[in-house]
Each structure stands twice: as C-alpha cells, then as structure tokens.
Amino acid sequence: MNNDDALRMIRRVLSDTLGVDADAVVPDAHLRDDLGLDSLDAIDLVAALQDELGEQIESTLIADVATVGEVAAQVRRRLATQ
Amino acid sequence: MKPTRVLVTGLGPVTSIGIGAQAFHRAQLAGTSGTRHLTRFTIGGTECYAAGEIDLPPEHEASRRLALGTDRCAQLALVAAKLAVADARLQPAALDRSRMGVVIGTGIGGAQTWQDSATAMTQASPARLSSKTVTKAMCNSATALVAIEYGCMGPTSTPVVACAAGAEAIVAACQMICSGEADVVLAGGAEAPLVPMVLAGFAGTRALAPPTDTPHAASRPFSADRVGFVLAEGAAILVIEAADHAARRGAHALAEIAGYGRTTDAFHVTAPASDGDGARRAVEAALRNAGLTPDDISYINAHGTATVLNDEAEVRALQRALGTAAKRVPVSSTKSQTGHALGASAAIEAVAAVQSVSTGTIPPTINLTTPDPTLSMDFVSSAPRRADVAAALSNSFGFGGHNVVLAFTRP
C-alpha cells in the first residue's frame, strides 16, 4: 500500500466510522476537534481498521495520534514493519 | 399539585399526521389519517399491515453522524424536543440549566438497534457489534441525548410503562417542579417500533389490526367493527414549566396541568380489569387531584386504541367515573388518526388535549361511522367541534395494567 492508497483507505474508514463527509477528512483534520471522534468512535475505528487490514491493530495506534495524516502515517509504518 | 402551578408552555409533536404543533393541530382538525401500508419492510406473505409511518422532511432528518450513534427512537425525540423548545421560545443557554430536567418515556427504546444487532450476531463471524450498540438501544437514550443537546443538568428519568409512558413522564415532570427540583422539564415520549420483531410480537398478542386493503381506515376506535390498533412511530415533547418561571421569562402558557391520577390494575398483563376498574379509579383520582368534578370536564381525549377490550373497558370506566356527566362529555381518540405510537402515544395525546384547551376545538375520531351500540358516549366523529374547553382529561393505559390520567385546564 503506497501513501496515497493508505490515505484514501483511512479517509473512507473515517468517513464511514464517524459519519462525516469524506471531504472533511483531510490530512490536517484533527480527529477529536474537527471530526468529533469520541472514545466510542475510537473503538469502532480500530475495529474498522482491523477489518480493513485483516490483522490486529492495537488501540494505542489511535490513542497517540491527533490528525488524519498521522493515522495514515501510523498505518503505513505498521505495514512497512511486517 | 398545589401550591406550585405547573404550566405547558411549548409543544413538539412528531407524528404520522403532522410534525410540529401547528401542522399536527391542522391535521387533527382536518381528520387526516396518518396510517398507510407499511413501506419499511414486509413480514409473512403478501398481505400488508397498516402503520403510522413518519416521513421526516430533510430539515429534521438525522445527519449521518447522528444516525450512526442513535436509534430512530431517540432521533424522533430530538426532533420533538427541538420543536417544543422553539414553540416555547425557550433559550436554555440563558437559563439555570441545573434546574432544567428531561423525562422521556418509551415502551421499547431502540428496537431497530436490537433487531440489527441480533442479525449481526448471527451473520458476522466473529460476532462483533458497534461500540454504540448499547447506548443506541437503551431506553434512556432519548432522555440522555435531549439532556446533552440542551445542557439540561437537573433531574432526568425514563418511565417505561408501555403505552402510558408519555403520561407518566409528564407526571414525573410535574413532581420535579412541585418538589422544587426543577423550573423547566422537557417531558414526553418517543417510540420507533416499526421493526419486524416488534410488529410480529404485537401481531402475536392479537391486539394489532390485521393486514388490510384499506390502511387509512384501519384504526377504528369505538367503532362496531374495530379490529385492533395500528402500530405507529412518533414522539412528542412538552415544555412543562413552573408558573413563576414562565412568568419571569414572559412565556405564553397553553394550559395548566391541574392534576393527574395513577392506578394499576394488578390484574393481567394485557386485559383490562373487569369493567375498567383501574381506569375508573385513575379518572376519579385525576379529578380529585385536580380539584375538578365531572361537570367541569369539557373534553376527554381517550386512550381509544380500537382493540375490542380497551374501548369497552374505557367507556365503562368513564361512565362509572363521570356518572351522569358521561352522557354529555365529548370524547375522541387521536389514535384513529395517528395510529398507536406506544410509549409516545400519551405524550402525543397530551398535546391534543392541551390544544383542545388552548384553541377551543375538539379533534374528531375518524373512521367512526358506526359506533359500537354497546358503547354510548358523545363521540366526536367525522368533524371537529368548537367548544369552550375549560378542562380536559387525557387517558392512557399501558400493557401491564398501568393507568395514568392527566387533567389540563385553561391557565
């Protein structure tokens, strides 16, 4: 998965999980402040990423990031270490 | 109820015949039927049940974000609360929100969420449900979300007494105000039962009107050929307010809640007690509590489900509670138009009763061309009636034998 693919996937998953417009899911968007992510959304987001990537994703992957771009970076980093 | 006077200062009905106080009132007086062939789903064969479905206009439709975290039951309640708050010209941000309460009753809560979750449990492997499953489905979801929306930080609660839940909510609101806990309470009921397992469940009780070719005429309270109730979705919130608080903010009072009566049949989970004894005692208790006599009552908004048993027991109860006045008091059933929205119905009908007081008009029972000859009362049918309604009662009786009667008077 290249950078563009990862970002595209993250945007789709976030849009579906948070029920927000895909156009709002830009790399700089803050998950909590801009997209309204709360603690329950975070659980569903991790589950959705697991479905997408077919593997266990630790909830810390989301806990330590603030923006859409950072989620994408974490996912790419994780895929690269496999 | 005394000494604090409790007023109704805003109405937010969301029903199959109209959304918002004006639209609902107009539809009531026009004799509109809100029941049609069910479009959401089918069960069994090709025959189709009638249902009171609501088509929310775009401005009231839940956003995708809201829809992910809420059941339709809470979504309808949020619309009702928005309409009620606007109708009362209430500005929560300008009020002491630690003295604002919320009480929204329901019969079932998030039925669609439970049904979808059950389906997901059997289809997904491994079974995994959304983190929001419980908070969507729980019965107090509507109460919680309305409190969050308006920042109501006073007392909140969720009565679950079947079809009397909306009236029980209004009683709770009165008590919160009279006890000094709250100045304003958003109170009512919400229900979204148009879900296969709920419809099938009610069909199983034989209380539901069977599939029909004439869905608009399926709900026929007090009619000789009544066949049961028509399931409906809906919500209604009333802004219930202490009189001195309403006066301070210059609010317009639509009606006073003069009192209420509550009893329990302690007899059977669905069948009313013989001769409507529990209902009779509730009507008598409401009159006593409100300091009214049968001669003071100008209108009764009946529970009037159109089941054989309810309508007969209710009329017997009214005849015994009102004595000679029973011959002249006009009676009608809102469920003839809206269908039966279970835990929301009593709140919807409280709106109708308040509007009878505030406008001097009594809405008709539609589909009542041939009244049951054994039920003799002054049924308002086919057309609305103008009347000087100084005091109105609203009856609500729930499965389980819960009886709640509300008394509204001119403020």
What is the reported pLDDT for A82? 64
Total tally of structural domains belonging to chain A: 1
Whether B101 is in a domain gets the answer yes
Whether B144 is in a domain gets the answer yes
Q: How many CB atoms lie within 10 A of CB B55?
A: 9
B332: β partners = B301
Whether A38 sits among the annotated catalytic residues: the reply is: yes
B404: β partners = B262, B396
Does residue A48 have a pLDDT over 80? yes
Tell me the pLDDT tens digit for each residue of B255-302.
Answer: 999 999 999 999 999 999 888 999 999 999 999 999 999 999 999 999
Q: Which one of A17, A35, A37, A41 makes the best mutation probe of the B interface by having the most chain B beta carbons within 10 Å? A: A41
**B374: domain CATH number?**
3.40.47.10
What is the reported pLDDT for B123? 87
Check CB contact under 8 Å for A18 and B132: no
Among the residue ranges A51-65, B18-32, B275-289, the one predicted with the least confidence is A51-65
B393/B244 same-domain check: no
B186: β partners = B102, B239
Whether B253 is in a domain gets the answer no
CA–CA distance from B192 to each of A28, B27, B37, B277, B344 (Å)? 39, 21, 16, 30, 9
In angstroms, the separation between the Cα of residue A70 and the nearest Cα of chain B is 22
What is the reported pLDDT for B52? 98
Total tally of structural domains belonging to chain B: 2
In angstroms, the separation between the Cα of residue B125 and the nearest Cα of chain A is 11
Does residue B198 have a pLDDT over 90? yes
Range of the domain at B90: 7-248
Angle at the Cα of B139 (from B184 to B38), degrees rounded to 5? 110
Tokens of B76: 């309808």
pLDDT band at B127 (very low <50, low <70, confident <90, very high): low
Whether B1 is in a domain gets the answer no
Tell me the pLDDT tens digit for each residue of B154-179.
Answer: 999 999 999 999 999 999 999 999 99
What is the reported pLDDT for A4? 82
B33/B163 same-domain check: yes
B195/B284 same-domain check: no
Whether chain B has a CB inside 8 Å of the CB on A50: the answer is no
> Which residues on chain B place their C-beta less than 8 Å from a C-beta of chain A?
63-69, 128, 130-132, 135
Whether B378 is in a domain gets the answer yes
pLDDT band at B350 (very low <50, low <70, confident <90, very high): very high
pLDDT band at A65 (very low <50, low <70, confident <90, very high): confident
Residue pair B79/B23 in contact (Cβ under 8 Å)? The answer is no
The answer to whether the predicted template modeling score (pTM) of the entire model surpasses 0.80 is yes
Task: Tell me the average pLDDT across B345-358.
Answer: 98
Whether B255 is in a domain gets the answer no
What is the reported pLDDT for B249? 97
Which residue of chain A has the CA closest to B68? A19
Whether B296 is in a domain gets the answer yes
B79/B173 same-domain check: yes
Range of the domain at A62: 3-80
Tokens 């210059």 label which residue? Answer: B250
B354/B212 same-domain check: no
B219/B363 same-domain check: no
* Mean pLDDT score of chain B: 96
What is the reported pLDDT for B150? 98
Does residue A56 have a pLDDT over 60? yes
Check CB contact under 8 Å for B128 and A47: yes
Query: pLDDT higher for A7 or B137?
Result: B137
Check CB contact under 8 Å for A41 and B130: no
Task: Tell me the average pLDDT across B42-70.
Answer: 92
Does residue B1 have a pLDDT over 50? no
Query: CA A62: distance to chain centroid?
Result: 7
Measured between beta carbons, the chain B residues lying within 8 angstroms of A47 are 128, 131
What is the reported pLDDT for B78? 98
Residue pair B13/B354 in contact (Cβ under 8 Å)? The answer is no
Tokens of A48: 């959705």
B236/B272 same-domain check: no
Residues of chain B with pLDDT > 70: what percent?
A: 99
The secondary structure of residue B195, as a DSSP letter, is S
Angle at the Cα of B285 (from B280 to B287), degrees rounded to 5? 100
Task: Tell which of B220, B248, B276 closes a domain.
Answer: B248
Q: Give Rg (Cα) of chain A.
A: 11
Residues of chain B with pLDDT > 90: what percent?
A: 94
In this prediction the ipTM stands at 0.88
Measured between beta carbons, the chain A residues lying within 8 angstroms of B128 are 47
In angstroms, the separation between the Cα of residue B131 and the nearest Cα of chain A is 6
What is the reported pLDDT for B125? 66
What is the reported pLDDT for B274? 80
Query: CA B363: distance to chain centroid?
Result: 15
**A48: domain CATH number?**
1.10.1200.10
